[in-house]
Every structure is written in C-alpha cells, then in structure tokens.
Structure 1
Amino acid sequence: MSTGPQLAPQKNVLGQPLEPCGFDPLTGFYRDGCCNTGPDDRGVHTICCVVTAEFLTVSAQLGNDLSTPMPQFGFPGLRPGDHWCVCASRWLQVVQAGAACPVILEATHEATLEVVPFETLLEYAVIPKTLH
C-alpha cells in the first residue's frame, strides 16, 4: 500500500478516462478512490467491484480475507455493498470458484485486461443508471 505519486491520467477498460471507484471506504492501491495502478502495485488492484457477502466469503476461503480490518495497512475491512479496487488475479480466482461480484467497468483500470478477458468483465458488469 502506498500514498502514491501524482499519476498521469489513466484509462478504464472501455478506453475512457478512469472514473473513481469509492471513497467510503477509501479504495485504491494509492488510497485515492480510484483503481489507479503503477510499478509499486504488484497485486494489480485494478478491478472496481461492488463486493457481495458471497464474494467476501469465498475470497477468504481462497486465502484473501477482505472482511477483517487491517489498520496498519489502511484497510478498514469490507462489507457487502462496498466499492473496492480488487486485485485482478484474485477477482478472477473468485470468478472461477463461482462467486464473482459485480464490476464497474468505468472505474476498472485498463491494466486489468492483461489478466482478465474483457468478455469476462462484461459478464459481471454493472449497467450505469444512465443506460436504464
């Protein structure tokens, strides 16, 4: 975890400017509310998710406990409904276990596509309210 450098504008998986993911709790590898990434982010925390109880349970069973607070890392612990920048490989692992949570494509960094196929992201995408 890092408070991060000043980053150049980054793009989402749709090729547009990256939108914020969440501010309560404050998410992102750089704790800037966005799923920005850079050389320090070895976990590739780039998928903006709306976490579900099932996702949190299965993630913990697979060795990635996202519910327990870890204040030493600026991590509050997550609850269902929270928006969070999840490691791309960990999200894919939970997808393969059958417990994926919704993804906000507009806030998911384009680097995700190096790990997760776009079609897989699209399958779990949250449809923006403007398209309803």
Structure 2
Amino acid sequence: MDKNVFGESLIPCSMEPLTGFFRDGCCNTNEEDHGMHTVCVELTAEFLEFSSACGNDLTTPLPEFGFPGLKPGDHWCLCASRWKEALDAGKAPLVVLEATNEKTLDIISLDILVKFALKKTKP
C-alpha cells in the first residue's frame, strides 16, 4: 500500500469527482503512471486556467472517458511535475498532505509542500 509524505497510510483524495491514476480515489502510483499523479490538491480557478494554458484543459467534461470536468474546490490528484510548474509560475493550488503520495518527495521537498498545506495537521 502506498504511503503519504509523512510515511503514513495514504488517505483518499477524492471520490467525487473520482480521482487518481487508477480512479480509486487515492493518489496511488506505479511504474505505469508516467505522469506521477501523486499530489492531492484543492483546485482553484487560477490553477485551472494555468493548466489549460499549458495544454491540459481539466474543466471540459469528457463523458466518453467518464471525466466530469473539474471546478474550483474539487480535490484532484495532480502530476507532481505540473504542480511544480504551477509553483514556479506562482499558481500552485493548496495540497492535502495526508492524501499526497510519498513519491512526490522525489520531485518536491516536504518543506515546500508543507508551505502549501490545505490544513496543517503536521509540523
């Protein structure tokens, strides 16, 4: 079972809308997940606009893929590299640390993630 950034059991990110590389509600990953969908975030309008400008429109529903389209306030498992791009552009959404996979730490330091914590339950 995957662990979160604190080395504890990974909690679900979102069941509605259903997120995760495996669409299991969690930011689980494996070698098939080349995008590393490991960062659980609370989406903002600013980030959704940024993502769309980068070529990944997350707001338009794609019913043929069971994708409802996302809106501000939704929780979603983002690719770690996209979150870092958003950070560098000043548009990073807040992170649910307990639902963020420890593999994220290969790309983003815990110190940075903690600064963007949705709720600070850990030091």
TM-score between both structures, scaled by the size of structure 1: 0.87
The equivalent position to 1:72 in structure 2, one of 61, 64, 75, is 64
Measured after TM superposition, the shift of residue 99 of structure 1 is: 0.8
Segments ≥4 residues shifted beyond 4 Å: none
Q: Which aligned pairs between 1:61-100 and structure 2 lie closer than 5 A?
A: 61-100=53-92
Identical columns (%) = 56
Quick one: distance in 2 between partners of 1:91 and 1:75? Answer: 20
- The residue aligned with 1:115 is 107
The alignment covers a number of residue pairs equal to 122
Consecutive unaligned residues in structure 1, runs of 5 or more: 1-8
Quick one: distance in 1 between partners of 2:66 and 2:2? Answer: 23
Consecutive unaligned residues in structure 2, runs of 5 or more: none
Measured after TM superposition, the shift of residue 114 of structure 1 is: 0.8
Q: Deviations over 1:26-76 (max 9, x none)?
A: 000000000000111110000000001111011111222111122333322
- The residue aligned with 2:40 is 48
Please provide the CA RMSD for this pair.
1.4
TM-score between both structures, scaled by the size of structure 2: 0.93
Measured after TM superposition, the shift of residue 82 of structure 1 is: 0.3
User: Could you say what secondary structure the match of 1:46 adopts?
Assistant: strand
- The reply on whether 1:124 has 2:116 as its aligned counterpart is yes
